Amino acid sequence: MRTAKPRLPATSKSRRAPHKPAAGKRTPNSVGRPKAGSVTIEAQDAIANAALPLFASMSFAAVSTKDIAAAAGLNTALIYYYFGSKDELFRRTVLIAANDAGQRFRALDPASCGAGQFVSDWLSCHEAEFAIVARLLRISMGYAAIPDRHQNVDDAIAGFHSDTRQMLRDALARGVADKTFASIEVDLTVSFVATFLDGVYLRAIIFPDYDPKPEIDELRTFLDSRLRATEG
């Protein structure tokens, strides 16, 4: 009687070591375009922050996606993946610029000091954040030239200007009410100060070497004497 030879397990072929690609070769989807669902606000903001200085120093048309990709250290295709177009990326940079410009102003606390100190701190914000606010104005001028405007971007730009003016308006009204300041036309004073500062920012955009501090200091001195002037 012949004895049967033992058979190898049927699963032996499935136990082979997994195939490893040769050195230097990439497996499919190992790098390059992110998988669906990996798009995040953080990634978009990182690209937009890299693009912001370019858009602020040159016109929208002069900045290419290759320039932005080089600044961000990534492939040009990823710009279109994350934003769809250069226009959409530009709109994101405007939002970031508006947020950056208003950050220090939002930190001011009117409840922590008197009206006079708050007005002084408000002017100090314009001195300390001058470059950031001027950058917002530059990029806003570029955005104004784009025909396809978006309401949220318009609101962000307008919001910075209206919010900072309202801070000054509230402080002046409080000072007049508690007689820290002389009786003045609050809205007229706010309009004068805002228009003066707009001129200072515009001059800085036209003349890159312009130093705004002396002008803002003169505004501070003028405003202080105006607010503390006695009636009659």
Mean per-residue pLDDT, 81-98: 92
Mean per-residue pLDDT, 58-83: 91
What's the one-letter identity of residue 1? M
pLDDT tens string 5-63:
445 344 444 444 444 444 433 333 323 344 444 456 788 888 999 999 999 988 888 99
pLDDT tens string 126-162:
999 999 999 999 999 889 888 888 999 999 999 999 9
Mean per-residue pLDDT, 88-110: 93
Model pTM score: 0.76
Q: Is the pLDDT of residue 78 over 70?
A: yes
- What was the pLDDT predicted at 43? 82
CA-CA distance, 155 to 62, in Å (whole number)? 26
Helices and strands counted in the chain (H then E)? 9, 0
Domains of the chain with bracketed CATH = 95-227 (1.10.357)
Mean per-residue pLDDT, 189-209: 94
Provide the Cα torsion 85, 87, 92, 97; round to 10°.
Answer: 150
pLDDT tens string 173-192:
999 999 999 999 999 999 99
